[in-house]
Structures are given as C-alpha cells and as structure tokens.
Amino acid sequence: MSDLLGDVVFSVSDLTKLLKTTLEGSFYGLTLEGEISNFRPASSGHWYFQLNDANQKSWRIPFVPKDGDIVLVTGSISLYEKRGTYQILCETMVRSGKGDILALLEERKRAFAEAGFFDASLKRTLPRYPKRVGVVTSPTGAALQDILQVLGRRNNGIDIVILPAPVQGDGAAQVIADQLHAANRLELADVLIVGRGGGSLEDLLPFSEQCVIEAIVASHIPVISAVGHEIDWALSDYAADLRAPTPSAAAELVSESRSEQLERIASLKQAMAGAVSQKIALTR
C-alpha cells in the first residue's frame, strides 16, 4: 500500500476523511481491556475518561465508571475530523478487575501508615501570619498562577519563594523532594505549599512517591499539600500538615485578606479601649 500511495500528496482534511472512513468501517463491535483514569463528567451528559494499558492510551471514551477500574468495553471507533482524534463509542462495559494504580496507592498508603508517616503527632501548626510562602510546583503550570493571583489579591505583602519542579513524569518526585529539603536547609519560607493542578492518577503519582512523603515528614517548615482539584488526591495529603482541595485554597489558607486585617485591627482597638476604660474605672 505504501508503494501505491508513495506519489500521492494528501491534504490534512483529505487524510482525516480517509482515516475516518477506514477506521469506522473496519472496527465495529471491538472489545478493549484497560484501566480507567482521568474520569470526568461533561455537560453533554457523557462521561469521559482515559483507558490505559502498560503501553498505550485510548482517549476520551464516554461512559460511567470510576478512576482505577479495569473494564472491558465493546463499541465502535469514531474519528473526530476537526481534531484528527479518535474515540471509542461504548455500547457495553463490564468490570475486568481492580486498577493497578489504585492498588499500588493503597499498598503504599498502608506501608506509609505503618511506618508512622501519617501520625497526627507529627503534624506542625501553620503560622497564623506567615511572611514568606514557599511554593513547590511547576513554574509554568496553572497552579502557580492561581496561587500568585490569590496571594496578590488577598495580601500582596507576603513574599513568595518559587521552588520550581516538574510535577509529573520520571524524576519529578525526586526534584520535588529535593526542593522541600532545600527550603528547609536554607530556611526559605515560613510555610510551604507543594502541589499542582488536576490530572490523571498517573499524572499525580509523583506526590505519592516515598521520597516526597519522607521529605514532607522531615520538614521543620509546615507543609500544605494542594494536589489537583477537589476530587483528586495523593499520599502527600496524608503526610502534610494540612490538605488544601486546590492550589487556590492553599493560598487562601496562608494569607489574611485586607478585610480580615481591618476586622482584626478593629477588634484589637475595641479590646484595648475596653481595657483602658476598665482601668480608669478601677482607679477612681
């Protein structure tokens, strides 16, 4: 076939149409086995998730189950011409087993708990009015921008120390751990936020690696874990002194807004005035 097409020059749209016709006509009623991750509902009523195996991912497959399930899905291939991507239109789905990623996380959670990494006695109290906030995250990610925006709006008097680190992929966990150690060694902050924006279970795995958990536990600086969106989680949430549902929420936890400052000052003034009045009354 390569010889027949060797002299043919396709436009992108022509090739996409050819692939659409070939794929949708050749693959019908197929069954796939894979692990669900990155599950999310859509306003259209479909539910989208990735279907993964050790080597490949099948993207945007609409149906109902939860992250970590191993499933068998039967359906047909449909190619979306505008993006040149394909999806599986599911007709049936059955469970095939338990997800490897969730099983791994559960095993690690048990081991870390037995090692004492999650003990309440290890939790440090966050400073009420921190002057310097360290942020361990990707320097180009949305999480950092969210944190900067919230801190800038609520209290621009706080110094922000950015400790850049990759937040997914090979080697990310060790860099995150190294930055946590560096922040402590150099006394860079009064409180640390470690986290990232949302992602699939695989994307969030660095925040469940042992080196990161150990770095959080060893930190003498209080640590807030802010990994993903509200529905996301990582083992750093259990090791940290406090879990924030989002990076933005973490920024709110470490900052006092202007209105809160004014309320506190007014309350102090009122308390002082009351104390002075009481003192005067006693001396009469």
CATH number at residue 153: 3.40.50.2300
Residue 90 lies in a domain: yes
Report, as an integer, the average pLDDT of 79-83. Answer: 72
Taking residue 168's Cβ as centre, other Cβ atoms within 10 Å add up to 17
Give the sign of the dihedral formed by CA 212, CA 213, CA 214, CA 219.
positive
Residue 36 lies in a domain: yes
Residue 107 lies in a domain: no
Structure-block tokens of residue 278: 């009481």
Confidence of residue 201 (pLDDT cuts 50, 70, 90): confident
Q: Are 242 and 265 in contact (CB under 8 A)?
A: no
Let me know whether 51 and 80 are in one domain.
yes
Angle of helix 210-218 relative to helix 100-114, nearest 10 degrees?
30
In whole angstroms, give the CA distance from residue 3 to residue 6: 5
Confidence of residue 60 (pLDDT cuts 50, 70, 90): very low
Percent of the chain residues past pLDDT 90, beyond the cut:
46
Domain region containing 228: 118-260
Q: Helices H, strands E: what count in the chain?
A: 10, 10
Let me know whether 182 and 126 are in one domain.
yes
Let me know whether 160 and 76 are in one domain.
no
Let me know whether 188 and 65 are in one domain.
no
Alpha carbon 221 to its chain's center: 21
Residue 172 lies in a domain: yes
Let me know whether 147 and 249 are in one domain.
yes
DSSP type of residue 127: P
Query: What does pLDDT average to over the chain?
Result: 83
Report, as an integer, the average pLDDT of 245-268. Answer: 77
Let me know whether 233 and 122 are in one domain.
yes
CATH of the domain at 38: 2.40.50.140
DSSP type of residue 234: -
Report, as an integer, the average pLDDT of 248-273. Answer: 73
Residue 54 lies in a domain: yes
Total domains in the fold of the chain:
2
In whole angstroms, give the CA distance from residue 169 to residue 162: 20
Let me know whether 164 and 251 are in one domain.
yes
In this predicted structure, the answer to whether residue 209 has a pLDDT above a threshold of 50 is yes
Residue 267 lies in a domain: no
Mean pLDDT lowest for which of 115-119, 152-156, 206-210? 152-156
Phi, psi of 93 (to 5 degrees): -150, 135
Q: How many CA atoms, within 13 angstroms, populate the side-chain half-sphere of residue 68?
A: 12
- pLDDT the model gives residue 128: 87
In whole angstroms, give the CA distance from residue 51 to residue 31: 12
Let me know whether 124 and 247 are in one domain.
yes
Residue 281 lies in a domain: no
Let me know whether 90 and 129 are in one domain.
no
Residue 205 lies in a domain: yes
Picking from 206, 253, 201, the residue whose alpha carbon sits closest to that of residue 231 is 201
Let me know whether 190 and 144 are in one domain.
yes
SS3 (DSSP) at 49: strand
Let me know whether 172 and 237 are in one domain.
yes
Report, as an integer, the average pLDDT of 131-151. Answer: 97
Let me know whether 62 and 148 are in one domain.
no
